[in-house]
Chains A and B, each alone.
Chain A
Amino acid sequence: MLIYAVRRIIATIPLVLAATSIVFVLTSLGGDPVTAKLATCTTCDASAYQRLIDLYELDKPIYPQRYLSWLTDAVSGDLGVSLTQGERPVKDILIERGKNTFMIAIPAFLLIAAGAVAFGVYSAVRQYSISDYVITGASFIGISMPTFFFGLLLQFFVVYWLQKTGQKFFYTSGIHIDTFTEYIKSASLPIMTLILVSLAGESRFQRAATLEVINSDYIRTARAKGLPERTVIFKHALRNALIPLVTVWALDFAALLSGAVVTETIFAWPGLGRELISATFAQDLDLMMGVTVVAIFLTVSFNLIADLLYGVLDPRIRFD
């Protein structure tokens, strides 16, 4: 397995290089920081212009020269500086915003994981019952609703409640983390939105996986030898039914950690996703690349973790 892991890591290197190249070229083609900076700067003169050109090597071709110089810096740990935030190192920004993202991503992920198993298994065990239809229907609505619409709906309900009763249980935007109560009040709506995005899909997935296991021969055997249904489901069925979900979990977790662009924008939560959006609009190349690299890195590594876990959980899968 170690050899497999090493081989996989080596195999992903060209993938990461190609992916970052594409994003780098696209972002560089999207516009150059000099024009963006000078549009908002009234006192800048030619020397400031020249300094930016030197900083971003704008007089050199985008590919491969500029990409390679970005890459060599990045490999040695220097992700550049953010132009729109007073030339603050991108690494510092990523760490700070990353913490904020973690604060909503981790609770959201735990709730999604637990909820998906609970709803998925329950509706599979009670297939075609009223509760199965309710869960299935709710999942379908969740899958069909645009994330930002759900987020705005939540805000709408909070505002409506405020107008009706004068009480405001949740903050509709911004981050407030001085006390735990404040944290709950400001993080609840973003977390709820994040949950909706993944829970609906994962519940459906878990339901399908559980149904497949429940209808297999070894479960019939377990029932035939007189085991109580509880033991059959939780000790025999669940173990196998959880395996396919591990991959989904890993990918969702990576996506959550690399920042939920839509959710963070709606609730003005200063995380990685929102940073990506503002960097994109401001043509802040290094910052954009920084967030993108974090996203690509997380996706690739969690993909690998999922594949390795798959082998640990399911001995029928061999790495060779």
Chain B
Amino acid sequence: MESWTRGSALTEIKVSETALELAIGEEITTEAKSLGRQTWERLLHHRLAVGSGVILILLSISFWVVPNFSPYLFDQVAAGPPRSAPSMSHPFGTDPIGRDLMVRTFTGGQYSIRIAALVAITTTLIGAVIGAISGFFGRWVDASLSWITNMVLVIPALVVLLVLALRYGSGPWAIAFIIAALSWPRIARIVRGLFLTFKEQDFVQAARAAGAKPARIMFRHILPNTFGPIMVETTLNVGAAIILESTLSFFSLGVRPPTPTLGNLMEAAKGAIDSRAYELLIPGAIVTLISLCVNFLGDGLRDALDPTTKRSR
């Protein structure tokens, strides 16, 4: 009697499972996916982010490829008549000393991307290390590092940028490090907050109980958990850096010509908006486009990393 009931119950379950399979029309499989894989798949469903990523990659490739195919060099004076409007031989026109603006714009993009990438990497490294140490060790270490972070936030950034750029700046590397020196507090605060929450969790207790040293706990156990938000911030920093570079250039404090950047091309064009507006509009539009794509990508990444997001946009 008893065995019969059990048997029938099992059959019933079996039947219903088959019914379910039939209803969906496919076998039910649950494949274990890593968090990174899940994030990647969610990101791929985010059309705007994917599109932005593609545009960014294409733009970057063009910055490196196009100058090689141009018959002119970026610092070649009198490549054409001075101040000529866009034409077949000079699609973006020429500047007051006859340099071809197309090759200058693409080479400028190259330098702007280099600076931005360098800023993003440096900012992330400084910010993540300071934030991690601050959040992990707490107490007086945290108090003093937070104090330094706050101080950098309080000092008017542009003043320091201006003074430093006046004194040390002109090369792309110097500009990048000056921008990075003032951009790290944001990421430091975020990483600090993450470390504060993670260090109280069980897996950290377990690692500690197993005898792991602080450095190991920080870098092997906690840091991988903070990769997501750090990646989002790094992405957004690229956009911020491109804007800051062009702003410094606007005050003639950025990378000096003849080395072109998108910023100093705009600076060179700002006096001519009544006659040759395209000289300003082209690099300006490229800066805006890069920064827009970076922001969309960062936003998509944030959505993809957040498991509570119900719908991806």
Contact = CB atoms under 8 A, between A and B. Distances in A.
Nearest to A30: B163
A308 interface: no
B48 to A, nearest CB: 9
A145 B240 CA distance: 10
A296 B166 contact: no
A245 interface: no
Interface residues of A, number: 44
A98 to B, nearest CB: 15
A148 B250 contact: yes
Contacts of A19: 151, 154-155
A131 interface: no
B149 to A, nearest CB: 11
A63 to B, nearest CB: 15
B151 A15 contact: yes
Report the interface size class on chain B.
Answer: 35 or more
Interface in A205-263: 258, 261-262
A26 B154 CA distance: 15
Given A31-B166, A280-B166, A146 B243 contact: yes
Contacts of B163: 23, 26-27, 29-30, 280
A262 B270 CA distance: 13
Contacts of A146: 243, 246-247, 250, 266, 284, 287-288, 291
Interface stretch (A52-60, A67-75, A101-109, A152-160): A152-160
A152 B280 contact: yes
A149 interface: yes
A250 B163 CA distance: 27
A163 B274 CA distance: 9
B311 A22 contact: no
Chain B contact surface mostly: helix
B147 A147 contact: no
A140 interface: yes
Contacts of B159: 23, 26-27, 276, 280, 288, 291-292, 295
B280 A156 contact: yes
A144 B286 CA distance: 11
Interface in A81-138: 128
A163 B147 CA distance: 54
A83 to B, nearest CB: 17
Given A146-B288, A148-B250, A280-B162, A140 B155 contact: no
Interface in A247-292: 258, 261-262, 265, 276-277, 280-281, 288, 291-292
B47 to A, nearest CB: 12
A146 B63 CA distance: 20
B311 A128 contact: yes
Query: 5 smallest A-B Cβ distances: which pairs?
Result: A144-B291, A144-B292, A149-B284, A295-B156, A30-B163
